[in-house]
Amino acid sequence: MSAEEADGEPGAPEPATDRQPGRLVTGIPGFDAIAGGGIVAGRSALLVGTSGAGKTIFGLQFLTEGVRQFGERGVLVTFEEIPEDIARNADSFGWDVSGAVAGGALTIIDASPDTESSDEEFDFESLVAQISTAVANVGAKRVVLDSIGALFPQFKDPFAVRRGLRHIIESLRPLGVTTLISAERSEEYGSVARFEVEDFVVDGIIMLRHPLERRTRSRTIEVLKLRGRSHLTGEYPFSIRPHGGIEVIPRPVVEIKQESSTERVSTGNEELDRVCGGGYFRDSVVLMSGSTGTGKTLLGCEFVKAASDRGERALFFSFEESRSQLLRNAASWGIDLAACEREGNLRLEFRRAERMLLEDLLLELRALVEEYEPERIAIDGLTTLERSSLPEAFREFWVSLIGFMKERDITVVFSSTRALGMDVESTTEAHISTMTDAILVMRYIEGGGRAHRGLLVLKMRGTEHDTRVREYRITSTGLSIEGPIESVAGFIPGAATMSDDAPRTTGG
């Protein structure tokens, strides 16, 4: 249920029923989708993660989105940072915390323990009174306690802290506020929180992770528990954007369509159109697989040039070449990509895969597509992206990206590079080949003392196509496909071959 549908008012919590409590929409992009509509309204949820996982950002965003989207006021209780530092950090995300405080929409309570205090000196009753007064004064609907782990090192008896925190939680419940309590973990996977705070009476547990593997960190979020309502299980990637904060990336739900497009789009090469049975279907995802130098980038350039010639918008995204290098190479094939740009029909984007997290890249690609609205997309250098990523993260990226493109009926071509001599499916292709609608294999063939190039349409869903290996050349006018190579064998990696004198059919 969306925020607008709940109780007929934006941001209103989903109403409770006799069987299940209502939900409060957090307003954090993507999170409410995996949480089944939000967190439990009027109750408390535990937000856990290691240092730097994004707990404070999540809590601040929960409060500021409540004010911005739904007019719901909030109270932040900080046990670590001083209010001035919190406001300054929030400014970097575009959140005017100082303005919200000045306007009475947000109250910050500095509950940082005195390093010289003891458990006998810390007054939990006084803190409960402060929070209750602040909630009443501003009419708060949301409360964040950040981070309770800062209390434990200061006290001799950890059970006294647990009792005090339990008292805070139980005192907030009659006030009808929805509370997030952040706590630190000592490791990414293991016990819920460092100080065993999971025994608190909470109605939800949200886990933030950013493990380091192969010198790369990836951020994920998991809704471990939300009392009384179903939610999506497992870890989901999220990004912390410089101007916007946390954005969670749910796995897309790609429905099997009752009708698929029968409209064809040109590959940009008339000879290849014939080999493919008339071109690609408009909603196709095409994988171009081949060794380095076999012409995959050239086919991508011809593909987007064909869109520009028709007055359609196209996006070319490269992870391997610079802008000047691509323009120079395209010009050597007789393709003026710069002219397509000037006409407004082409957008060229270049990124270094080693410098990007996949979740950040996915959100950037989605934003580019929503802004530019291309009808065709070529992504060159997918293998480079895969080499700099964790396997599971790469698969998540691919599934989410393809789902997004399929929803918009965009024709997409990807290139994947095979190492010379590779006779098994590459890691990249193992992740993506089953989701593609067409696969083009481009390989070197040695014969007559020189290297030849061969192309095979290995897969083309929904249409007949030429199943022969065709020789091709790269010329100053593009890619020229010539006749079939009858004597080649072993072109398809891992496929069985027939000898020249073997029968092609059998009776029976």
Q: What is the DSSP string of 239-307?
A: EEETTTEEEE-PPP--PPPSS----EE--S-HHHHHHTTSSEETT-EEEEEEETTSSHHHHHHHHHHHH
Total Cβ atoms within 10 A of residue 33:
17
pTM, full prediction: 0.77
User: ω into residue 182 within 30 of 0, thus cis?
Assistant: no
Sorted by where each begins, the domain ranges of the chain are 6-248, 264-484
6-248 is classed CATH 3.30.830.10: no
> In the predicted model, what is the mean pLDDT of residues 199-210?
84
| Residue that wins the pLDDT comparison between 327 and 211 | 327
> In the predicted model, what is the mean pLDDT of residues 441-461?
91
At residue 20, the pLDDT reads: 52
State the first-to-last Cα distance of the chain, in angstroms, to the nearest integer: 59
Q: Are 298 and 481 in contact, with CB atoms under 8 Å apart?
A: no
At residue 334, the pLDDT reads: 97
Q: Which two tokens stand for residue 42?
A: 């009027």
Helices and strands of the chain, counted as H and E runs: 14, 24
| Residue that wins the pLDDT comparison between 222 and 446 | 222
Beta pairing, strands 178-184 & 142-146? parallel
Supply the angle between the helices 358-372 and 391-407 in degrees, to the nearest 10: 10
CA distances from 192 to 94, 145, 198 (A): 31, 17, 6
Q: Which residues are known catalytic residues?
A: 80, 320
At residue 384, the pLDDT reads: 83
Give the DSSP letter of residue 173: G
Q: Which two tokens stand for residue 38?
A: 């939000």
At residue 350, the pLDDT reads: 94
> In the predicted model, what is the mean pLDDT of residues 312-337?
96
**What is the tens place of the pLDDT at every residue in 108-125?**
999 887 655 544 556 788
Check for a shared fold between 6-248 and 264-484.
yes
Per-residue pLDDT at 199 exceeds 80: no
Q: Closest Cα partner for 377 from 282, 262, 460, 246?
A: 282
Per-residue pLDDT at 156 exceeds 80: no
> In the predicted model, what is the mean pLDDT of residues 400-428?
77
- CATH code for the domain defined by 264-484: 3.40.50.300
Per-residue pLDDT at 273 exceeds 80: yes
Q: Which two tokens stand for residue 96?
A: 């005017």
Label residues 360-392 b or e (16+ Cβ within 10 Å = b): bbbbbbbebbeeeebbbbbbbbbbbbbebbbee
Residue the block writes with tokens 């933030």? 208
Per-residue pLDDT band for 472 (boundaries 50, 70, 90) equals very high
Q: Which two tokens stand for residue 113?
A: 């323990």
At residue 12, the pLDDT reads: 46
Cα distance between residue 269 and residue 478, in whole Å: 8
Per-residue pLDDT at 505 exceeds 70: no
| Residue that wins the pLDDT comparison between 113 and 60 | 60
Per-residue pLDDT at 269 exceeds 80: yes
Per-residue pLDDT band for 278 (boundaries 50, 70, 90) equals very high
Cα distance between residue 25 and residue 37, in whole Å: 6
Cα distance between residue 304 and residue 301, in whole Å: 5
Residue the block writes with tokens 């989903």? 14
Q: Are 188 and 196 in contact, with CB atoms under 8 Å apart?
A: no
Per-residue pLDDT at 50 exceeds 80: yes
At residue 45, the pLDDT reads: 93
- Backbone angles phi and psi of 240, in degrees to 5: -105, 105
Q: Which amino acid is at 255?
A: E
Per-residue pLDDT at 10 exceeds 70: no
Per-residue pLDDT band for 355 (boundaries 50, 70, 90) equals low
HSE-up of 113 (CA within 13 Å, CB side)?
Answer: 21
Q: Which residues pair with 146 in a beta bridge?
A: 78
Compute the C-alpha angle 27/96/91, nearest 5°: 100
Query: Which residue blocks in 333-453 are alpha helix, DSSP H?
Result: 337-342, 358-372, 382-387, 391-407, 427-432
Q: Closest Cα partner for 46 from 244, 162, 183, 140?
A: 183
Per-residue pLDDT band for 9 (boundaries 50, 70, 90) equals very low
At residue 455, the pLDDT reads: 96
> What's the whole-number average pLDDT of the chain?
84
Beta pairing, strands 106-110 & 74-78? parallel
Q: Which of 102-116, 194-208, 222-236, 285-299 has the highest mean pLDDT?
A: 285-299
Q: Which two tokens stand for residue 201?
A: 């009476």
Cα distance between residue 404 and residue 253, in whole Å: 9
Q: Are 201 and 165 in contact, with CB atoms under 8 Å apart?
A: no
Q: Which two tokens stand for residue 108?
A: 């910050």
Cβ-Cβ contacts under 8 Å for 84 (sequence gap 6 or more): none
Compute the C-alpha angle 26/27/29, nearest 5°: 120
